[in-house]
Structure 1
Amino acid sequence: MKKLILGLAAVVALIVGYRGAAVHAADTWQPVATLGTSLTTTQKSGTLSTLESAANVTNPSELTVNGDTLVKYLNPSGSTFTSASGVWSSALVQKTSSGGINVKIVDYNGTNNITTITADQYRNAALTAGVTNANIFITSAVRIDGSGALAGVYAAFAENGDKLNASQIDAAQSEVNTLSGITSANKGKDGYSDKQLNNAVAGAKQQMASQSNNGKQTLSQNQIGNIVDSQLKQNNLTNIITNNQRTQIINLLVKVQHSGALSSSDFKAQAQQLASSIQNSAKGLFNKLSKQLNTKANRNFLQKVGDAIANFFTGLLDWLKSLI
Structure 2
Amino acid sequence: MNNPGSMMKKINSGAMIMKKILLTLGAMLLATVAFGTHTVHADDTWTPVATLGTSLTSDQKSGTLSTLENAANVSNVSELTVNGDTLVKYLNPSGSTFTSTSGVWSSALVQKTSTGGINVTIVPYNGTNNITTITSDQYRNAAVTAGVSNANIFITSAVSIDGSGALAGVYAAFAQNGDTLNASQIAAAQTEVNTLSDITDANKGKDGYTDKQLNNAVAGMKKDMATQSNSGEQTLSQNTIGNIVDSQLKANNLTNIINNNQRTQIINLMVKIQNSGALKSSDFKAQASKLASSIQSSAKNLFSKLKGLDTQENRNLLQKILDAIGNFFASLWDKITGLLN
Question: Is this a same-fold pair by TM over 0.5?
Answer: yes
Residue 40 of structure 2 corresponds to which residue in structure 1?
none
- The 3-state SS of whatever aligns with 1:28 is coil
Instruction: Give 1:269's aligned amino acid.
Output: A
In the alignment, the residues of structure 1 paired with residue 226 and residue 91 of structure 2 have an alpha-carbon distance, to the nearest angstrom, of 25
In the alignment, the residues of structure 2 paired with residue 121 and residue 193 of structure 1 have an alpha-carbon distance, to the nearest angstrom, of 12
In the alignment, the residues of structure 2 paired with residue 59 and residue 153 of structure 1 have an alpha-carbon distance, to the nearest angstrom, of 18
The reply on whether 1:69 has 2:66 as its aligned counterpart is no
Q: Size of the alignment, in residue pairs?
A: 272
Residue 55 of structure 1 corresponds to which residue in structure 2?
72
Instruction: Give 1:147's aligned amino acid.
Output: S
Q: 1:293 to 1:237 in 2, by over 3 A?
A: farther
- The 3-state SS of whatever aligns with 2:50 is strand
The correspondence of residues 128-207 of structure 1 with structure 2, limited to 5 A, is 128-207=145-224
Instruction: Give 2:273's aligned amino acid.
Output: V
The reply on whether 1:121 has 2:138 as its aligned counterpart is yes
The reply on whether 1:235 has 2:221 as its aligned counterpart is no
Residue 95 of structure 1 and its aligned partner are, at CA, apart by 0.4
The reply on whether 1:255 has 2:272 as its aligned counterpart is yes
Residue 120 of structure 2 corresponds to which residue in structure 1?
103
Residue 225 of structure 1 corresponds to which residue in structure 2?
242
In the alignment, the residues of structure 1 paired with residue 195 and residue 101 of structure 2 have an alpha-carbon distance, to the nearest angstrom, of 25
In the alignment, the residues of structure 1 paired with residue 282 and residue 211 of structure 2 have an alpha-carbon distance, to the nearest angstrom, of 28
Instruction: Give 1:119's aligned amino acid.
Output: S
- The 3-state SS of whatever aligns with 1:64 is strand
Residue 28 of structure 1 and its aligned partner are, at CA, apart by 2.6
For normalisation by structure 1, the TM-score amounts to: 0.82
In the alignment, the residues of structure 2 paired with residue 187 and residue 214 of structure 1 have an alpha-carbon distance, to the nearest angstrom, of 34
Instruction: Give 2:290's aligned amino acid.
Output: Q
Residue 307 of structure 1 corresponds to which residue in structure 2?
none
Instruction: Give 2:232's aligned amino acid.
Output: G
Residue 51 of structure 2 corresponds to which residue in structure 1?
34
In the alignment, the residues of structure 1 paired with residue 208 and residue 104 of structure 2 have an alpha-carbon distance, to the nearest angstrom, of 35
Residue 206 of structure 1 and its aligned partner are, at CA, apart by 0.1
In the alignment, the residues of structure 2 paired with residue 195 and residue 44 of structure 1 have an alpha-carbon distance, to the nearest angstrom, of 31
In the alignment, the residues of structure 1 paired with residue 159 and residue 310 of structure 2 have an alpha-carbon distance, to the nearest angstrom, of 41
In the alignment, the residues of structure 2 paired with residue 293 and residue 189 of structure 1 have an alpha-carbon distance, to the nearest angstrom, of 24
Q: Which runs of 5+ in 2 are unaligned?
A: 1-42, 316-341
In the alignment, the residues of structure 1 paired with residue 163 and residue 310 of structure 2 have an alpha-carbon distance, to the nearest angstrom, of 35
- The 3-state SS of whatever aligns with 1:291 is coil
In the alignment, the residues of structure 1 paired with residue 91 and residue 288 of structure 2 have an alpha-carbon distance, to the nearest angstrom, of 23
Q: 1:236 to 1:292 in 2, by over 3 A?
A: farther
The two structures, once aligned, show a CA RMSD in angstroms of 1.5
The reply on whether 1:92 has 2:109 as its aligned counterpart is yes
Q: Which runs of 4+ in 1 moved over 3 A?
A: 292-295
Q: Which runs of 5+ in 1 are unaligned?
A: 1-25, 299-324
In the alignment, the residues of structure 2 paired with residue 28 and residue 97 of structure 1 have an alpha-carbon distance, to the nearest angstrom, of 10
In the alignment, the residues of structure 1 paired with residue 76 and residue 62 of structure 2 have an alpha-carbon distance, to the nearest angstrom, of 12
- The 3-state SS of whatever aligns with 2:286 is helix
Question: Sequence identity, in percent?
Answer: 83
